[in-house]
Amino acid sequence: MRWLLIPIFAVALSARAEDQSASTISREVKDIFDHCKKAVVKIHGDDEHSELSGTGFFIDPTGTIYTAYSVGGEGNNFSVEFDGKKLPARQLVTDVRSGVAILKVDTASPALPIGKSENMEVTTPVVAIGYPLDLPETPSLGLVGGFDRKYLGYYFHTTHLRVNVATQRGEAGAPLLNLRGEVVGIVAFTLENNSSCYALPIEAAEKIRSDFLRFGEVRHGWIGAKLMQALEGKGGSYAEVTEILDSTPASNSGLQPGDILLRVGNREIHQPDDIIDASFFLTAGEAVPITVIRGDEKLTFDVKADFHPASQRPPVIAQPSMNQALPLRLQKAPERTP
């Protein structure tokens, strides 16, 4: 009889441990929700088709708001529900290439702290806080499922976080938070079955805001060198320069076809697709150190980035069912052109 009690006791302990673990997670999510929800707002607006409704969040104490481009990018007559009031809001920045819009209300505000998506990995827990449909602010718990550069064969302009959080219409623009309550992403759009979503890494939004604060405009940069997969890698990279485009920064930089690309700015290059993220974070007008291997020699060139020719006219692919979620502004194949 004693031996029969041992497995029963073990099962009971295991169940109790699971209950305690679930209770701990529930408390953590509740703490994050209670602490952060006051900085999350519901956004209203109009566009040429209908009324808009989405989510945004304060990023400084002076009323500056991040949201998705689909919410705050192309509409007008914006207002924000905050602290029991409906306040008029104006656009500061709209950037279709990144999928970010920045709005402003003239009020003192709470602000969410900015974290780093770079510190996360697959299975990292995250919490989204948004306004689904016509409901109050709602927390959603999930896990990072992947870091993707493409979806359904189309490439993003920078890596997105694929998150197992079920989002609904109205939650585009919601903050994605780590368990410290720091913003690591902005909900961009819901996948077709509504069981998960894509989020723009917060570093991408911060790049857009930094450009605006420094220059009064967004400055997507490029260099103008095409890449392909090298047959033989060097220095840990298989990204081979195949063409230097005329009348581009690369044409006067010293880069040559056949160079193996190792680094662009502070980003390492291992495969041609790595140039997608490296290119996104280039700023037009700034010198960018580019490191290559030519033969057996490692060389570094300082290249002044120019404005990206596609920064204002990326391809647009959208479906009617994606209303109030970020339309996919992607490309069928990677440019592989920094």
Write out the DSSP string of 269-321.
-SSGGGHHHHHHT-BTTSEEEEEEEETTEEEEEEEE-EE-TTTT----B--GG
Residues 171 and 157 occupy one common structural domain: yes
Residues 165 and 281 occupy one common structural domain: no
Residues 149 and 225 occupy one common structural domain: no
Residues 71 and 167 occupy one common structural domain: yes
Residue 204 within any structural domain of the chain = yes
Residues 235 and 88 occupy one common structural domain: no
Would you give per-residue pLDDT tens digits along the chain (338 residues)? 554 555 555 555 455 555 556 677 889 999 999 999 999 999 999 887 778 899 999 999 999 999 999 999 988 999 999 999 999 999 999 999 999 999 999 999 999 999 999 889 999 999 999 999 889 999 999 999 999 999 888 889 999 999 999 888 999 999 999 999 999 999 999 887 778 999 999 999 999 999 999 999 999 998 999 999 999 999 999 999 999 999 899 998 899 999 999 999 989 999 999 999 999 999 999 999 999 999 999 999 999 999 988 765 443 333 323 222 222 233 334 445 66
Q: What is the pLDDT of residue 288?
A: 94
Residues 132 and 49 occupy one common structural domain: yes
Residue 123 within any structural domain of the chain = yes
Residue 50 maps to which CATH number? 2.40.10.120
User: Which residue segment(s) compose the domain that 241 sits in?
Assistant: 221-307
Residue 286 maps to which CATH number? 2.30.42.10
Residue 10 within any structural domain of the chain = no
Residues 158 and 277 occupy one common structural domain: no
> CA 296 from chain center: how many Å?
37
| Cα separations in angstroms, 282 against 277, 285, 287, 291 | 9, 9, 9, 15
Q: Which of 165, 195, 215 is the last residue of a domain?
A: 215
Residues 100 and 249 occupy one common structural domain: no
Contacts with 7 (C-beta within 8 Å, 6 or more apart), sequence order: none
Residues 203 and 257 occupy one common structural domain: no
Residue 266 within any structural domain of the chain = yes
Residue 29 within any structural domain of the chain = no
Q: What is the pLDDT of residue 338?
A: 64
Residue 158 within any structural domain of the chain = yes
Contacts with 324 (C-beta within 8 Å, 6 or more apart), sequence order: 52, 53, 54, 70, 71, 169, 170, 172
Residues 240 and 168 occupy one common structural domain: no
Q: What is the pLDDT of residue 10?
A: 54
Given the DSSP bridges, would you call strands 306-307 and 287-294 parallel, antiparallel or unpaired? unpaired
Distance CA 294, CA 262 (A): 11
Residue 4 within any structural domain of the chain = no
Which residue bears the tokens 């992947």?
A: 146
| Count of domains forming the chain | 2
Residue 66 within any structural domain of the chain = yes
Q: What is the pLDDT of residue 37?
A: 97
Please give the model's pTM, rounded to 2 decimal places: 0.85
Q: Which of 173, 191, 215 is the last residue of a domain?
A: 215
Which amino acid, one-letter code, is at 75?
G
Cα first-last separation, the chain: 72
Residues 180 and 53 occupy one common structural domain: yes
Residues 152 and 207 occupy one common structural domain: yes
Contacts with 311 (C-beta within 8 Å, 6 or more apart), sequence order: 97, 218, 220
Q: How many helices (H) and strands (E) does the chain have?
A: 4, 21
Q: Which of 215, 248, 264 is the last residue of a domain?
A: 215
